[in-house]
Structure 1
């Protein structure tokens, strides 16, 4: 007998309000993801500035994060730590919408296709497949803005902000070469990162709740936030380690124009060889909440229609 689908996460709107469905539901998932990603990545702009400098100029920024902050402020002023805030907030707003909204959509699609019982037995594959597809489309939206951010951070004086930097790259280098030279690295960075993040988060949440001996739907919202935060920290750490080499290459390839006639693949191979294993992991520390924020925003929006396949 196929078990009934279990719906969870109490709504701030109360039990009497009709739960959203269809496009209305997935729009709420997308909004929640967009807001949480924009907030978390935007708030980390100063860290990303220093991390990117460490990755791009290790001969200068080679004394750790704290020293890196001091070096940037001493050389360029405190305002330099907010370089790239516009493209970061805008880019990850779009990326978060496609990633979280897409993940919920594709997860439900796979569950409907094979049934809840079989999906529960193969939930890890469902998590991995759903997150990979969602992240691919998220990266299509993110890549131009991430290229703009890295150019602004790596080349002080390149442009005054998001609009001028975006326009300058488009005019001088074109859409494909200017904005999507880093599409390969961003896929290698973001897709494994997102796959690891979602599957580890889902399994870690399952284990944490199982250890509490209480059904998920019976947990108080504050307890769910703590569970999401704890599982999110575990997931984020694992995902950051997996994706760090591609993150370093992404920063490198977006720093400046490639040599005329040189392919993206050739540039990546050359950069990886020059960096070596140690160099590929530069800036890992700063990459170690989204899920806690995402869960809270979903509750506020009344997005209660997520299907549960955890055991």
Structure 2
């Protein structure tokens, strides 16, 4: 494993690509990965399968999930897929019940499924579904899933919950991300609110505040291609670090200074955002495009 550079330490949450340490942490453990059909979820599932975990994959894309399962099992790993549409809350509960019946309580849950929208408010006046769907996928659905899984984890003696969040809930929120940031912030706030209750019951929590990951979710926004970011496999190494070390928080080093700046220079940050908004435009895909996993 090559040593991370100073820039790597500054721009990315802590990563770990040591397969032996990951195997020690996850071998024979039942680990649920939501949003496992593409991007970070797929890369994480493959990494866990290679490390000897019993991987439970969930996402809306059944055909793609089956392909990921085939890749894991062909390499000698163990995996099973479940179709999960987090916008259907009753179906989410039913899917969780099937998982528990098939596998028992998961040892670890990686809440990775998400929906991203970058769209100006002026384009959303007639699109209340932007807010309803992002809230369902990024907040209400994951909560419903955990309401089913957590009691079983408590009865089994504990476990580990990892939430793949975004730096956007830590730094001053920017324009065009209102629906997305509000939904991610809602789940982040809920998880921090119940953290003491869960840890008292033996369940560890890790919140990963990711910056840009280059996936199909970011692809429709051209500006994203010009920003520094991680590929899915690098981002999966961040999840590996969370599984190995079980820290409470993982975030790039610059997030804390940005949080402080947002408080002490709120007016300046707001003015800079307003200027940036006036000088930029929505992407061509903003008229209709949204991606969920």
TM-score range, shorter chain: under 0.3
TM-score by length of 2: 0.24
More strand by share: 2
- Structure number having the greater helix percentage: 1
TM-score by length of 1: 0.23
Q: Which has the higher contact order (CA 8 A, sep 6+)?
A: 1
